[in-house]
Amino acid sequence: MKIVFKEDFISAFRLMMSEAEKRGTRWTHPKMGIFQVIGWEGKQ
């Protein structure tokens, strides 16, 4: 486990979400595969 700065995490998370594609209630990322994010809903 590692502690990271919130701003760095949000920046990386937004980049990952911009590369992902929503499919129903889940997301698909080219390198990560299928995952689910609760409460994201494209809020930036």
Q: How confident is the model at residue 6 (pLDDT cuts 50, 70, 90)?
A: very high
15-41 pLDDT, tens per residue? 999 999 999 989 999 999 999 988 866
Q: Report domain extents, the chain.
A: 1-44
Q: HSE on the CB side for 30, CA within 13 Å?
A: 4
Q: How far from each other are the two terminal CA atoms of the chain, in whole angstroms? A: 26
Higher pLDDT: 44 or 35? It is 35
The pLDDT value given to residue 39 = 81
